[in-house]
Amino acid sequence: MEQDVRSKSEQPNRYEHLLERTLFKGRWLLAPFFVGLLLAIVLLLLKFFKQLYVMTITALSATNQELLIGILTLVDTALLAGLLIIIIFSGYENFVSKLNVEPQEDKPTWMGKVGFSGLKIKLISAIVAISAVELLKVFIHSHELTSEQLAWKVGIHITFVISGVLFSVTDFINSRTHSH
């Protein structure tokens, strides 16, 4: 009789434990997303070299503006690839598993140290930088756009900047609140 009572009370714990283990292992469902982002970097690399090739064969006949646009496109592509690396490493380490790589001389200093809060700040910083490069490209061709189109592009960029500042302020307040 006592064993029946004990087995009934232990049974929900067994189901709860199974559910929790399943949920915990479910974090691995995120791993394919990070592999997909790695493949996206390969696509960016192809786009980068295509742009570099086009710039190389047209460099002598291109205007300074065209060359500058090409260079800004390369910078934009490199920034986006760097952003994806940050998301891949930080996302994997924050949500899936720690990266077990041997200590390496060229390992980025932020690797293994960027929490979710730091990831948000790095993400918004990269988005603001990419937006700034895009805005610079727009201003080079500003004569082709209406004032309203320019205003929208500047407004969107300012929205990114304000969002970044607000994320930083929120993170600062959060760190001060939890440190006391």
Which tens digits make up the pLDDT trace of 17-29? 999 999 999 999 9
pTM for the model stands at 0.70
Residue 70 CA to residue 141 CA, distance in Å, equals: 13
Which tens digits make up the pLDDT trace of 46-86? 999 999 999 999 999 988 888 988 998 999 899 899 889 88
Residue 178 pLDDT class (50, 70, 90 cuts):
low
- Count other C-beta atoms under 10 Å from residue 178's C-beta: 7
Q: Report the pLDDT value the prediction gives residue 180, as an integer from 0 to 100.
A: 56
Taking phi first (over 0 means left), then psi (-120 to 50 degrees means alpha), and beta for anything else, what does residue 101 get? beta
Q: Report the pLDDT value the prediction gives residue 56, as an integer from 0 to 100.
A: 95
* % of the chain surpassing 70 pLDDT: 84
Residue 135 CA to its chain's centroid (Å) = 20
Which tens digits make up the pLDDT trace of 78-126? 989 988 988 898 888 888 888 777 776 777 666 666 666 777 777 788 8
Q: What angle in degrees, to the nearest 10, is found between the helix axes of 116-140 and 147-179?
A: 160
Q: Report the pLDDT value the prediction gives residue 77, as an integer from 0 to 100.
A: 92
Q: What is the DSSP letter of 62?
A: S
